Amino acid sequence: MKHLMRSLQFKISVSLFVVGATLIGISALRLNERSKQTRRTAMMALAFAEGSRLSGMSQHLLRRKVSRAADLELSYSSTNKDLRLGLIVDGSDIVRHATMQQMRGLTLAETPLADVGPVLKKVRESMEGRVVELVRGKRLVAVFPFWEGLAQAKGSVILEYDLEMPLASASAVALHALLAQSMALMGGCLALWLLLKKVVTDRVEALVCQVQGMSLESEPMLAMGGKDELAQVSQAVRLTHDRLRHSEQRLHQIAATMRDVFWLAPDASGSFAFVNEAYATVFSRQGARLATHRWDWLHAIVREDRRRCLEMLRSLRQGGPRQEIEVRVASPEGHLRWVRCRGFAVPGTEGHECSVAGIAMDVSERKTLERRLLDTAENERRRIGMDLHDDLCQRLAAALMKTGVLQSALSRGGGNNQEPLASELANDLSEATGIARGFARGLAPVGIEALGITAALSDLGDFITRGFKIPCRVECSASDTGLTGESATHIFRVAQELATNAAKHANPTWIEISFEMTPQEARLLVTHDGRPYRPAHAAIEGMGMHLVRQRLDALGASLSFHPSAQGEESVSSVECLIPLSLNPETATVEIA
């Protein structure tokens, strides 16, 4: 019943009924008064006409002393059912004729019309007939004078009419009209009720069901037909549902395929956090468990890092700025992962805390690479220091000793026989200079900026030949005068790493470095006859190949290994293809 009373159908129908009933009531009151007034006016006109007629007839008949004719005229008037009493009195107020025969001969004071005396006096003074309503709504009296005989006595005709019955009849007519209008109003309200139920209520309920049925899992409900407002709203709801469904599906697909964890913690304590499928991989826990254990994710974080997580969440709940922290996550097997958490606040409704959302990324590989890079840099510094100490420094020490011996010999004047010693000293200094130059070129190949990548690759071949005692041939089939900047340095470093790896690990008898350019791409090929490189071992390579792949990513290049004739699982050449038209560093290169 409450639901019915709150419905738009009920409110409109009741409002219309109340307004209609009010208007009908006002109209009924006005109709009743109008009917009574009309009836009263008609009765007064009738009384005036009848009184005038009887006064004239009485004057004529009484002068001729035809009393029976006067009684007959008076009896004609008594046929009116509203006439209570009719009297014809002479100048002495004695009843000469009456509609009731028993009143003949009585004085006016002895009749029911005794209270007409004041009116009768005024009429006789003015000799003009009057119609007076003695009792409002009950009695109507008509008093008309006439001259009685030659004596000029003033007789009168007095007629009393009943007003109650005529006015009650007029009220009954108004009541009948009121009943007819009320029935018409009730019929109209009932028709409006049924019309609203069919046109509005049922369609609104269908629209509410359509809105409540909106979900990602369900197909959009059919929209209502037609072109009215409700049909347009229903069609807009269906279109919105379809768009939201496709948008949410795309969002879920993106979230499901993300390698990073996307999470959302609502402000309501009763709601559980949303996480995508990557949560199980990064945190090694089931996302469904968050529905019953809201803080289950916190147990995956190392105890020492939990406080920072809680502080970040507390700050974001209060609407603080976005934050980023790195924490350690422990798997049930005891493996540790480094996770970078980026969080931001999602403003909620007024008076409520903010929701918190963010992304958690597994940065364990980056942490491992950073540590390996530091270890590699430290090992490289140690190797360079050992090479400088064991080779260059020893040579310089020997050259210093020989310089001392030569200085002593020259000071004694025996310099004529020190030519071999001076030759050895010059040779030692030349070798030391070559070694130092080799270290310098290995650390900073300045020849790329000055002479181009072709000269730098030629120097690399000479360095491989001298340093590893392995013949290294370099072939460049195109001009590279336009290839400068970081792209040329990346290409040189890739060639340096590939050739050095082949010299160190493949035990070859020869190495060949080939470089050629076209307007579309550059091609670098390192070939050797040593042990082939096995791609299956790429996962346990050192920092060298990792840096090579980083440089290839910067160039947008690709690296491929070509198997030798001895087997399909091994390779003896490495090919690197660098697109020049798509690379911002090399897009403007013009090949001569």
Q: What is the DSSP string of 209-264?
A: HHHHT--SSSPPPPPPPSSSHHHHHHHHHHHHHHHHHHHHHHHHHHHHH-SSEEEE
Contact criterion met (CB below 8 Å) for 181 and 5:
no
Evaluate whether 258-356 and 445-592 have a shared fold: no
Using N-to-C axis directions, what is the helix angle for 67-77 and 8-63, rounded to 10°? 180
Q: Is the pLDDT of residue 182 over 50?
A: yes
- 454 or 485: whose pLDDT is higher? 454
Q: Tell me the domain boundaries of the chain.
A: 10-170, 258-356, 363-441, 445-592
pLDDT digit string (tens) for 491-509?
A: 888 888 888 888 888 888 9
Q: What is the mean pLDDT of residues 417-438?
A: 70
- Averaged pLDDT, 442-451: 60
Question: pTM surpassing 0.75?
Answer: no
Topology of domain 258-356, CATH: Beta-Lactamase (3.30.450)
Q: Which CATH architecture has domain 445-592?
A: 2-Layer Sandwich (3.30)
Region 335-360 average pLDDT? 82
* pLDDT of amino acid 504: 85
Q: How far is CA 420 from the centre of its chain?
A: 92
Q: Please give the order of strands across the beta sheet that includes 83-89.
A: 95-98, 83-89, 153-162, 139-148, 130-135
The yes-or-no verdict on residue 447 having pLDDT over 70 is: no
Predicted pLDDT of residue 472: 92
Q: Decide yes or no: CATH 3.40.50.620 for domain 10-170.
A: no
Give dist(CA 326, CA 364) in Å, integer: 10
What is the model's pLDDT at position 479? Answer: 63
Residue 462 pLDDT more than 70? yes
Residue 566 has pLDDT above 60, yes or no: no
Under the banding of pLDDT at 50, 70 and 90, the label for residue 511 is: very high
Residue 359 has pLDDT above 80, yes or no: yes
Position 569 scores a pLDDT of 45
pLDDT tens digits for range 272-328: 678 888 888 888 888 888 888 888 888 889 888 899 898 988 888 888 888 899 999
Residue 235 has pLDDT above 50, yes or no: yes
Question: Collapsing DSSP states into helix, strand and coil, what is residue 516?
Answer: strand
Predicted confidence band at 450 (pLDDT cuts at 50, 70, 90)?
low
Rg for the chain (alpha carbons), in Å?
A: 62
Residue 316 is encoded by which pair of tokens? Answer: 């974001």
Mean pLDDT of 556-581: 72
Residue 33, H or E segment:
helix 8-63
Angle among Cα 506, 511, 514 to the nearest 5 degrees reads 130
